[in-house]
Amino acid sequence: MSYEIIRDPLWNNIRVDPLALQLVDTVAFQRLRYVRQLGLAYLVYPGASHSRFEHALGAYHLARRALALFDERGLGPHDAGDAHMVRYAALLHDIGHYPFSHALEEIGALHHEEVARPLVTGGEVAAVLRAELGEDAPARIMALIRGTSNSALQGLISGSLDLDKIEYLKRDAFMCGVNYGDIDVDRLLNSLTVVADPERGTAVVGIFEKGLSALESLLFAKYQMYRNVYWHHAVRSATAMYKRLVDGALRAGSLSAGTLAAYTDEGLLHDLAQRAPTPLLSALRERRLYKRVFECPAAELPAGCGEWIADDRPLVVAVEDRLAREAGLAPGELLLDYPTKTQMLGLDIPVLRRDGSVRRLTAEGWEGAVNLPKLSEELYRSARWLRVFACRRVPLDRERITRLATLDASEVRGLLDGTAPLL
C-alpha cells in the first residue's frame, strides 16, 4: 500500500493511506478546512486559526500510532476490519461541526455528532466507505463516533482517554503559543491497553496503572486550557456575541437551523452581513468585544445553580433584554454567559493494576489511592465563570445578579412576568 505524506507542524509527517485520502478529498471533509478548531479564540490568540481539518488528520495519525502499538503487543482486534473502522472514525469524527466550533450547540443546535450522521451514512463519504470496506462500514463508523459501538476499541474514539482529547489539547496549546497542553503523548499512548471490563467481561480499552500519572497530566492540561484559552473572558465575550447573533437570525428567519452545518466560518458571517446586518455583527467582525460588567466563579455559587443560563436559551434572551432595558441599554447590548456544563475529565476507565487485576476508575475514585475525580470537579468549578458582558460599562448590583443566578428557571420566569425590576 502506498501512502501520501502530509506535512504537519505538530506531528511532522502524517502518512495517509489511499482510502483516507479519498475521504479527505470529499466535499464534506474539505469544508473542515474553513471551520476553525477553536471558534473565536483567534480574536485573543492570533495563532488559533487552525482548523478542524488538521485536527481530524491528527486524530487519524494518533489512531494509526495507537493501533500499531496494540499490534506490537498482540492486542489487535479479532476482527481485522475493526482497526480500519477505528482509523476512519478518527478521521471523520468532526465532519459535522458547525461554524466556529461548539458555540452553536450552546444555543440548542443539534449536536455535531448527530449532524455527522447523514454525512457519514449517506452521500459521497458513505459511497467511498461502502466501496472499500463493505455495506456496513458507514453504520459501524458512525457507532464509533457516537460512542455506541460494541468494538473493543471504542475507547480510542469516544471515552475518558480518547485520541480526540489528546490531539486537540496538544494542537490547541501549540497553535496558541502556550505550554498548558504540553502532555506526554508517547507516555499516554504507551499506557493504553485492552483489558476485560471488570463488570461485563467484554474487551475494552483501559490503561496500565503506571500510566495514571500521564492521565493526571492530561487532566491538568485540560484544566489549564479551559481556564486560559477555551473559557478566557474575551473568548467567552466573543462567543456570547456570536451566539446572540446567530440565535437572533434563526428567530427572525434570516437563517435556517437545517443549513447551519453546511456553512464555513466566514461563509456564515458573510451571509449574515448580506441578509441581516446588525451593529452586533459589525462589533464582532471588527473585534469590538463586549466588556465584563460582572463575573463570579462557579466555585462561589451553590452547586447546580445558574444552569438555566447554560441550558434555557429562550429564558436567557428574555432576561438579557430585561436587564439591558433596566441598565439603559438596547436589546442585545447586554449578554449573560455561563459555559455549558462539561466534565473536566469524565472518568470511567478500567485500570490494569500491577498485580494483574483490573479495577474501574470512575467518578467515585479509589479510597485512599487515586483522587482524580474529586480533583477534576474542583478544577472544573474554578475554571467555569458566570459573567455578564455589555457593549459599554454599566453599573450592576453584584448581589442581585448573584441572587438571580441562584434562582431556578421557574422562579426567574415568575420575576419576568412581574413588574418589579430584576436589578
pLDDT at residue 222, rounded to an integer: 86
- 188-239 pLDDT, tens digit per residue, is 999 999 999 888 888 999 999 988 888 888 888 888 899 899 999 999 999 9
Mean per-residue pLDDT, 336-364: 80
Mean per-residue pLDDT, 109-120: 84
Backbone angles phi, psi at 207, to 5 degrees: -140, 145
| Residues 273, 279, 282, 283, CA torsion sign | negative
Please tell me the predicted confidence (pLDDT) of residue 135. 97
- The predicted pLDDT at position 207 comes to 92
Q: What is the pLDDT of residue 340?
A: 83
- Is the pLDDT confidence value at 365 over 60? no
The mean pLDDT of 16-33, rounded to a whole number, is: 97
pLDDT band at 345 (very low <50, low <70, confident <90, very high): low
pLDDT digits (tens, 9 = 90+) for 312-332: 999 999 999 999 999 999 999
134-146: average pLDDT = 96
pLDDT given at position 29: 97
Give the Cα separation of 334 and 390 in Å (integer).
Answer: 4
In tens, the pLDDT along 57-92 reads 999 999 999 999 999 988 766 566 788 999 999 999
Mean pLDDT, rounded, for 26-51: 97
- pLDDT in the model for residue 349: 84
**What per-residue confidence (pLDDT) applies to 28?**
96
pLDDT of residue 346: 63
- Give residue for cell 473585534: 287
pLDDT at residue 366 in the model:
56
Average pLDDT on 6-13 reads 97
Does the structure show a pLDDT above 70 at 181? no
Question: Residues with Cβ < 8 Å from 17, sequence gap 6 or more?
Answer: 1, 3, 87
Cell 449578554 identifies what position? 335
94: left (phi > 0), else alpha (psi -120 to 50), else beta?
A: alpha
- Indicate the burial class of 379 (C-beta count within 10 angstroms; 0-12, 13-18, 19 or more): buried
For residue 2, name the pLDDT band (cuts at 50, 70, 90): confident
What is the predicted pLDDT for the residue at 46? 97
Nearby residues of 340 by Cβ (< 8 Å), 6 or more positions away:
105, 106, 310, 311
The position carrying cell 462567543 is 239
Cell numbers for 9: 507542524
Give the C-alpha separation, 418 to 245, whole Å. Answer: 27
Most confident of 106-115, 285-294, 340-349: 285-294
Sheet bearing 291-297, strands edge to edge: 291-297, 385-390, 334-337
Q: pLDDT at position 201, please?
A: 83
Average pLDDT, the chain: 90
Amino acid 371: pLDDT: 64
pLDDT at residue number 368: 44
The backbone torsions φ and ψ at residue 160, rounded to the nearest 5 degrees and listed phi first, read -65, -30
Q: What's the rounded Cα separation, in Å, for the pair 84 and 169?
A: 24
